[in-house]
Structure 1
Amino acid sequence: MKLTGLTMAGLLVAGAAFANTVVPDEVSFGEYGAVEASLSGTEGNADKGREIFSTKSMGNCVSCHQVSQLSDVPFQGEVGPPLGGVGEYRSAAELRGIVANAKMTFEGTVMPAFYKTSGFIRPGDGYTGKAAKEPIEPILSAQDIEDVVAFLMTLKEN
């Protein structure tokens, strides 16, 4: 009976966490692309966000953006704007919107939409040359987005 009760409690807690998650097609973007509400309903973890930002198999943000505060991360990009100090001039809502789908803020950007699952013209299946299989998953989860935003908000000018 205790095992059943513990299992049930775990399911309820897990269910509550997912109940607050906004699915990609239901993200509410403001007029200039900001997303005011948390996508996961849970506060982001800046350390996890740093990992996502700087790891090629995760967000891979560092391939396009240079961050002076990440001096230990090699091969930083120059395609996107440098993000050192971004936590001072962008709000969490603006950053959340940009990471989720930058095209809602910057129409012609080449930055990928990290939290989008529909509206693609020709999605591919990795590097296979074949069409993507349904359903298409977002590049990052709702919590990953919150973690990256938490990390970006720590980037202040020294």
Structure 2
Amino acid sequence: MRVAFLALMGLQLAASPGAGEETGSYVVTGDAIMQPLVGGKGDPARGGALISDRQRSLCTLCHSGPFPDAHLHGTLAPDLTGVGARLSGGQIRLRVVDMKRLAPNTIMPSYYRVADEQGRRVATAWRSKPILSGADIEDIVAYLASLKG
């Protein structure tokens, strides 16, 4: 059952690349990426909407938290309620960009690494593209960092 779920999740991810964007460079310092992936701060409202979007980010397939449709939240990953009080924006950013740097065996996809670098066979239209854009990730970081309670 879990293998089927992960296979379905992989197919879903392959269908939603980061708006045709190439990945930019970033610097990992300890357990964080301190600098935003794109200029300026993200928009927490867009980040909240993106987290709840089960077609693009898929966050709620595994995570629960203060998001709409609680009955659809997953239980495979930590609850994100209060994550902004536990982690800095830079720590959240690294976890979304590439959680595999911190936990190599995680089932969480690397949202800002290109799919074909992750050892997956990827359709030509989506090769060398991340799952989410840098702006999408900054919006998610802004939203999650705002979850203090």
TM-score w.r.t. length of structure 1: 0.73
The equivalent of 1:40 in structure 2 is: 38
Matching of residue 70 in structure 1 with residue 67 in structure 2? yes
Higher RCO (CA 8 Å, separation ≥ 6 residues): 2
Q: Is the 8 A contact 1:65 1:76 kept in 2?
A: yes
More helix by percentage: 2
Runs of 4+ off more than 3 Å: 71-74, 132-135
Q: Which of 121, 140, 146 pairs up with 1:148?
A: 140
Of 46-55 and 134-143, the range deviating more from structure 2: 134-143
Q: Is the CA contact 2:35–2:90 (under 8 Å) kept in the aligned structure 1? A: yes
Instruction: Name the SS of the counterpart of 2:72 in structure 1.
Output: coil
Task: State which of 110, 113, 116 in structure 1 corresponds to 2:113.
Answer: 116
Structure 2 gaps, min length 5: 1-21
Question: In structure 2, do the counterparts of structure 1 residues 134 and 82 end up closer, same or farther at CA, with 3 Å as the change threshold?
Answer: closer
For residues 3-37 of structure 1, the C-alpha deviation after alignment (integer angstroms, 9 at most, x for no partner) is xxxxxxxxxxxxxxxxxxxx6362211233x1000
Match of 1:87 among 59, 66, 84: 84
Separation in 1 of the partners of 2:84 and 2:59?
16
Where in structure 1 are there 5+ consecutive unaligned residues? 1-22, 126-131
**Superposed, which structure 2 residues align to 1:53-64 within 5 Å?**
53-64=51-62
**SS of aligned partner of 1:52:** helix
Percent identical pairs in the alignment equals: 30
In 2, the alpha carbon distance for the partners of 1:85 and 1:92 equals 13
| TM-score scaled by length of structure 2 | 0.77
Q: Is the 8 A contact 1:64 1:80 kept in 2?
A: yes
CA RMSD of aligned residues (A): 1.8
Deviation at 1:107, TM superposition (A): 2.1
Aligned residue identity for 1:86: V
What does residue 7 of structure 2 align with?
A: none
**Letter in structure 2 aligned against 1:82:** D
